[in-house]
Chains A and B, each alone.
Chain A
């Protein structure tokens, strides 16, 4: 366990479904991130939150909607996804605005859109 917990570990959803991914950390970090990991592609940054405020949206389609109710929890709400959205979605956290020491990642949610 890294201290960053993601649920569910696996998710299969239809293109008309609505689902949510959850990320939780109790490391005292105040920055949280969503990354998308697809086959043969680098990790793609999606969203960044610092102290519950979204500080970066990396041109992510609106069918992905993040929510950060507090510094320990991060959600990714999904609706009307496309098959090409199938990927591993990784959550990470770090001390605010500081990457020294890197990010702590969760194990990810393996998403399959059918």
Chain B
């Protein structure tokens, strides 16, 4: 079975609020994680990544948190904007890149203006 999944299939937030999208993984051998954003009519786009030797990584308005103890990954989006409306996927990789990425089901984020 798949080793990457998402807690919530949909998430609605008010514009300006912070969003948190969660992801659980079951393979303790996973050592690299990526968050992707997929807008309607487009393919997934890389947002941010994190390696297993880190707990937190920040980008522009986005932060990824990794909790290896409970095998949990989250994506935080600050000051959510209408343009953030999309489906967000987490992906994991084992063996530092020598195997293909495994993707989760995705969470749809809807931003309410």
Contact = CB atoms under 8 A, between A and B. Distances in A.
Interface of A: 2, 4, 6, 33, 40-43, 45, 48, 56, 90, 92, 97-108
Interface residues of B, number: 25
A38 to B, nearest CB: 11
Contacts of B49: 100-102
Nearest to B2: A42
Contacts of A97: 97-98
Interface string B2-16: 101000000000000
Interface string B38-49: 000111111001
A102 B97 contact: no
Given A42-B89, A43-B44, 15 more contacts: A2-B45, A33-B100, A43-B103, A48-B100, A56-B100, A92-B43, A97-B98, A99-B32, A99-B97, A100-B96, A102-B49, A102-B91, A102-B101, A106-B43, A107-B41
B34 interface: yes
Interface in B38-69: 41-46, 49
A103 B102 CA distance: 12
Interface of B: 2, 4, 32, 34, 36, 41-46, 49, 89, 91, 93, 96-98, 100-106
Chain A at the B interface: SS class: loop
A4 B46 CA distance: 13
A42 B105 CA distance: 4
Q: Enumerate the 5 nearest inter-chain pairs by beta-carbon distance, A residue then B residue, closest first.
A: A105-B43, A43-B103, A102-B46, A99-B97, A98-B97
A33 B93 CA distance: 15
A107 B36 contact: no
Contacts of B93: 99
A107 B42 CA distance: 4
B101 A99 contact: yes
B43 A42 contact: no
Most chain A beta-carbon neighbours within 10 Å: one of B32, B36, B49, B97: B97
B46 A101 contact: yes
Contacts of B97: 97-100
Most chain A beta-carbon neighbours within 10 Å: one of B43, B89, B93, B100: B43
